[in-house]
Structure 1
């Protein structure tokens, strides 16, 4: 027999179908939107706050399903996210309770049954355009880094001038980063120039001899763009690490231009927490404390006053900083105090090892450094200032290698936050959130409804055409189409890291059309074979066999195109490419092999005079 009936194949298909249905089921369960109010103070205000919230919600005609009062918190359940977000704004604005007493957050709780959770079944991850969430636009302060490079360059010039006993007449700044220095004679100028050229390991800075015994120091624009790209990539990696560590999936962290980064957090509702984590520039620096109370050059030191008003002078040049830290954890020490455990890279380990060996008996200070917006500088909105806080001061008693601990933190919450930021890496330059918005799910829901409507209308038209034109073989093609949809949904639900966006829905619609087109090719080929006066069983067999190479050729070319789109395309194109790739694989399987199995089930071992096609 040409069209064999193999029971094992049918059992496999039935099992695959059951598997697809089970792993598609989570998509019918909606997340439950809630508002959670936690009590941070021991004062007995719980019942009063609960009643006040009920009154506020009723007064503003905000509908909620249930409200629960527990010992430490209140939970209010809503029917949809729009009601939840509206209620959140109203409660925040109208509940006259100090933030020290309560903490109000919005959450989405899964409504999946436990048996689905047990088998790791989960709904499809939706992108920001479908699910809603938080959008941030971050600005990188490249000027701050360039300023540090300029300061380092000026220090190099001063050292060379002092070593060579050369004095320069004047220095002339003609913009923020470019300037000129002039000397008494050519000999002095040339000595400094060649020493600078020899010592310069920073390709961003260029030196040029100019008239009047001068040297022009300026930035190389071509190398500057490369440098900005390098800073951008490092910052993106750090921000991506932060996003990954807080457990947010399906995120977008990408470059907009040389100075801006876009971050999208689908499904995230805790706006303030996300903002604090992504915009936080905290890092650690370790500095040597000057032994003497008298210093020659105050510009080389930070001056701090201890509680007893004793001044200490901290060398501005750091020994190591956050860029040398590869990991950080927190715990409590033997005195039940919070401590952060620091793990250094090879470079940092070598530096701190040599330094501590040389400076046993000296004092070292741990500084918590933040870069914050300078609110006093109204003219320059992008102005950033460096804020420093002393965490602890310790005497170097022994040589330190790649691991050590720091204490002096206020509480475990601060220790946890600092360990998290250090673990994710140090930002190469300060960042500032310049645009922030919560994208409501109403836009996403509208997109989903429109996308599903388009799919349903398209499928309905195809069903009518296939059934009317190809009869039973048309019905078989439609059955395969629905199995195809189930497989695509289960793939997206099961495979980690896959996110469905609006462009992805377009890809699904395209693959459904490809699937039906495949069946049309097969059916037309079967008709041709029947017209050649072949037996029905032979016509079916050769109809599938002769069409298969053409189907594979077309789909392999499409798969290659989707791979190119995935590698080189924009984010939207990548979403389209992924869904199209998955859809093509499932389409070949359902349109060719499953329909063939169904046809064999219906027609094998039977005498057929006329085929319903």
Structure 2
């Protein structure tokens, strides 16, 4: 029979609509901004602190909704994020580190929706506000480090052979080794060539050798450096509990980081921009060797002079995990856990050096005021001894660092080590702090655009197509529900302002599909065929046109997402999802509604 679905097809359509409604529901629930203040178990102190905080907020004319005391916490609830952030700054400044102040958003989504893993759509930086960074990776650091290591190895070979030479350092990894004559040069060239090094080129230049990295390895190393840095930065973002963040590559050496909802720019810079890692060096106790080039001079605690062996025993790359605890004197300490390679090195080293002192050096790279010829900010290497320990017995793959100033410093060091060491130093070349008020305005404008667009569609469709126009509008709302539910379900999807533009566009495309169908039905009716056949032919003949148009749009959206910037990607993802859902709603769902109303019935006139 024409214009009839099987019963199971109607059940599937209803099931899809129910699922769409369920997974779009979390978006109607608003997160509640609160400030939580952790205080010791002293009721009198809690009341006193609460009164002091209330006075501070009232004095600064900051509105709050309510407050309460639960267990060891004071909870202050706010109506909006702006007041929450202002209050946090004031409370934090006046806390004098006597209590812990935590800023957070409490979800109001019902438990049954949470049980079904239903979450609201992730909002991008332009809608939620937050922090944007553009970082640049300093690859020269790695190439120079590899060069020095390679030069050291070559020096050892040449010194053992009693061959005089000079070293001339060039850009990146490259350097020249200059010999006394061509005979020595050829002898060393043949020796190095026979070693069959897979990633180094040896080229004869006058009475010396140019030593460079093969292009293939050069490109692969650059790729691995930025990929490792992205991985480390993602871990750091996760460690400090920032959700809906974006960490992705841009160009060859640049990385974009977006932290929606975060407003503390200095805290984000300190955590993400840090290149901190640890190095472990042997302390030199023989003062007769202090002039040797194998030792570096340090001041421990800004007053005790020490000479450390330049050779690194193990470094941050050998650390697989770290956490904080307190020692027997209730002082903070960081517990370090090494990988198998680091554990073996430390075990063999400590066995040979029982009774010697081992220094833990915190190494960081700080931006200077100077720039190189390319305009890049130069970085200064900052080294600080944070711990000196005597090796009393053979060490294994875990040990403890003490001597830290406070628990905050211990937490910071633990997070940085736990998230891994950056392959190369990074520098912030662009930073923006986008306030939530900007995001609110964007959301209002986006919703306003959607409402105006839908209203115009409703007026046009009802006036021009009567009942079939109403059916198209019902499908349009279902399409909007499906689009929102898809965005909520996709873990990598983030809604941006350009994404809202994509939604508005797909709503227009969905209406356009129904216009094609309705015009086809009218055309068939004008050919004087039966109403049931006109409906059937209208949907069938319009399908090919709708399918072709939407497939080309899907292909275009895929390329935009693959090759476009983050703004274009936001537009592409919502357009792609909207096209898929619009094809389903404009063809399947409208047909189902038409079948229910008109299918299998004798109709004299079709209201279209």
- Tell me the TM-score normalised to structure 2 length: 0.83
Q: Which of 228, 237, 247 matches 1:253?
A: 247
Specify the alignment match of 1:439 in structure 2. Answer: 434
* Alignment map for 1:448-467 (pairs within 5 Å): 448-467=443-462
CA distance in 2, matches of 1:248, 1:143: 31
Q: Confirm or deny that 1:369 pairs with 2:362.
A: yes
Specify the SS of the correspondent of 1:371.
Answer: strand
Residue 161 of structure 2: aligned partner: 164
2:205 maps to 209
- Once the two structures are superposed, residues 314-367 of structure 1 have per-residue CA deviations (whole angstroms, 9 ceiling, x without a partner) of 54323433324445567789999966352526x5567567x4598485868473
Q: Residues 67 and 409 from structure 1, CA distance in 2 versus in 1: closer, same or farther, beyond 3 angstroms?
A: same
Kindly tell me the number of residue pairs found equivalent between the two proteins.
601
Mean Cα displacement is larger for which, 554-563 or 285-294? 285-294
Residue 16 (1) aligns with residue 16 (2) = yes
Q: Within 2, Cα distance between the matches of 1:175 and 1:341?
A: 36
Does the C-alpha gap of structure 1 residues 348 and 483 become closer, same or farther in structure 2, counting only changes over 3 Å?
Answer: same
| Aligned position for 1:263 | 257
- 1:213-253 deviations in Å (ceiling 9; x for gaps): 56677899997676444422221121122223444333221
Show CA shifts across 1:57-109 (max 9, x none). Answer: 333333222244567554433222223333444555xx5553x3244443222
Equivalent residue for 2:106, pick from 86, 109, 114: 109
Matched position secondary structure for 2:607: coil
User: For 1:576, which of 555, 571, 574 is the aligned residue?
Assistant: 571
TM-fit CA distance, 1:516: 1.0
User: C-alpha distance in 2, partners of 1:453/1:204?
Assistant: 61
What pairs with 1:93-492 in structure 2 (closer than 5 Å)?
A: 96-98=94-96, 100-168=97-165, 184-188=180-184, 209-210=205-206, 227-269=221-263, 271=265, 273-287=267-281, 295=289, 298-302=292-296, 314-327=308-321, 340=335, 342-344=337-339, 348=342, 355=348, 359=352, 365=358, 367-373=360-366, 382-390=379-387, 392-395=389-392, 397=394, 403-406=397-400, 408=402, 418=413, 420-433=415-428, 435-492=430-487
Structure 1 distance, partners of 2:300, 2:238, is 39
Stretches of structure 2 lacking an aligned partner (at least 5 in a row): none
Residue 588 (structure 1) shift: 1.4
Which SS does the other structure have where 1:608 is aligned? coil
Output one character per residue of 1:105-144: Cα deviation in whole Å (capped at 9) or x when no partner.
Answer: 4322223334433433221111111111122333434444
Looking at structure 2, the residues matched to 41 and 443 of structure 1 have their Cα atoms a distance apart, in angstroms, of 41
Q: Quick one: distance in 2 between partners of 1:543 and 1:499?
A: 37
Residue of structure 1 in register with 2:498 after alignment: 503
In the aligned structure 1, how far is the partner of 2:88 from the partner of 2:411? 28
Shifted more, 417-426 versus 576-585: the winner is 417-426
Instruction: Provide the rounded CA distance (Å) in 2 between the counterparts of 1:478 and 1:82.
Output: 38
**CA 26–610 in structure 1, closer or farther in 2 if over 3 Å, else same:** same
- Which residue is 1:61 aligned to? 61
Cα gap change, 1:565/1:391 in structure 2, threshold over 3 Å: closer, same or farther?
farther
Q: How many Å separate the matches in 2 of 1:465 and 1:562?
A: 28
User: How far did 1:278 drift?
Assistant: 1.7
After TM superposition, the structure 1 stretch with the greater mean CA deviation from structure 2, 569-578 or 143-152, is: 143-152
1:584 Cα deviation from its structure 2 partner: 1.7
CA deviations on 1:241-280 (whole Å, 9 max, x unpaired) are: 2223444333221334555432111123455554443233
Report SS of the residue matched to 1:369. Answer: strand
Aligned-partner Cα distance in 2 for 1:434–1:68? 43
Pair 1:18–1:378, CA change in 2 (3 A): closer
Q: 1:20 to 1:286 in 2, by over 3 A?
A: same
- For residues 587 and 94 of structure 2, the distance between their equivalents in structure 1, rounded to whole angstroms, comes to 66
Assess if the C-alpha contact under 8 Å between 2:336 and 2:401 holds in 1.
no
Following the alignment from structure 2 to structure 1, what is the Cα–Cα distance between the partners of residues 170 and 28?
A: 65
SS in 2 for 1:470: helix
Give matches, 1:65-84, under 5 Å. 65-68=65-68, 72-84=72-84
Q: Deviations over 1:440-468 (max 9, x none)?
A: 11221122122222222222111111111
CA distances 1:408-428 after superposition (whole Å, capped 9, x unpaired): 475887666555434432211
Contact 2:226 2:253 in 1 (8 A): yes
Which residue of structure 1 lines up, in the alignment, with residue 606 of structure 2?
Answer: 611
- Give the whole-Å Cα distance in 2 for the aligned partners of 1:291 and 1:198: 41
Moved more, 434-443 or 281-290: 281-290
Q: What CA distance in whole angstroms lies between the structure 2 residues aligned with 1:90 and 1:55?
A: 11
Q: What's 2:488 paired with?
A: 493
| Corresponding residue SS for 1:382 | strand
SS of equivalent residue, structure 2 residue 454: helix
8 Å Cα contact 1:123/1:493 also seen in 2: yes
Range moving further from structure 2, 414-423 or 119-128:
414-423
| 104 and 434 in structure 1: CA distance in 2 versus 1, 3 angstrom threshold | farther
Counterpart CA distance in 1 for 2:134 and 2:551 is 39
- Label 1:589 to 1:180 Cα distance change in 2 as closer, same or farther (>3 A): closer
Find the aligned partners of 1:89 and 1:375 in 2 and give their Cα distance.
Answer: 29
Specify whether residues 562 and 297 from structure 1 end up closer, same or farther in structure 2 by C-alpha distance, changes over 3 A only: same
1:594 aligned to which of 580, 589, 594: 589
Instruction: Give the Cα–Cα distance (whole angstroms) in 2 for the partners of residues 536 and 177 of structure 1.
Output: 78
**In 2 relative to 1, CA 247–106 (structure 1 residues): closer, same or farther, beyond 3 Å?**
closer
TM-score w.r.t. structure 1 length?
0.83
